Amino acid sequence: MGNINLTVRQKEEIRRLTQKANRRIKQAHREYNKAGREIAPYDVTGGIQVKSQWETGKNPLSRSISFSSKSEYSQRLAFLKQFDRPLQKGGAPTMSQYTEMQRYKTLKAMESSLGGLDGSLSSSVKDSLHDITKMSSAELSAFWQRFSYNSAKAGLQYSSEAVMESTMAEFFDEDIAGLVG
């Protein structure tokens, strides 16, 4: 079975969308690698979360415009269009949008874990809440990984507020200067 013939317009569209997708995926990988994380978020990368999934050595997606069938072309075009559609219309989020979503989810999870974000919290927890609004999604991921580890380590002595407070103290004492400084 041979390659299908694409119009000039179809070729240009595939190239434009591939370039846009490659920029988004590379940005996510750069940001996560910079924070010491190897796996980029699925939502931002369209599932191309690790470099071993890249189609070429330099780019996540090949810029090839050769397709063996209309079905293969249609699947590729549909995949690429998620990087072109706005988030509100079902597209993939940009790193900025994803980070904002993760900050919101983190604050909501903290509110749930701590039984609310009211005046009964210690001053160190309150101070750290402000710092969380400045963290990147990669840093938030590292924060929750550490919180999960501390929670598991606490075992039967688990207290949401105590574990959250110790995680914040541990995380921010070690990392805050580099994260938001």
The residues near 125 (Cβ < 8 Å, ≥ 6 apart) are 114, 161, 164, 165, 168
How high is the pLDDT of residue 160?
65
Query: What's phi and psi for 99, nearest 5 deg?
Result: -60, -45
Apex 58 CA angle, 55 and 61, nearest 5: 35
How high is the pLDDT of residue 177?
45
Inter-residue contact 28 to 83 (CB < 8 Å): no
What's the DSSP call for residue 40?
Answer: -
Distance from CA of residue 128 to its chain's centroid?
21
How high is the pLDDT of residue 112?
75
Domain extents for the chain? 8-93, 97-180
Inter-residue contact 82 to 43 (CB < 8 Å): no
How high is the pLDDT of residue 161?
66
Inter-residue contact 35 to 136 (CB < 8 Å): yes
Distance CA 156, CA 154 (A): 6
Mean pLDDT, all residues of the chain: 84
Q: Please identify every stretch of the chain with a pLDDT value under 50, giving residue numbers as ranges.
A: 1, 176-181
Distance CA 102, CA 135 (A): 10
How high is the pLDDT of residue 118?
64
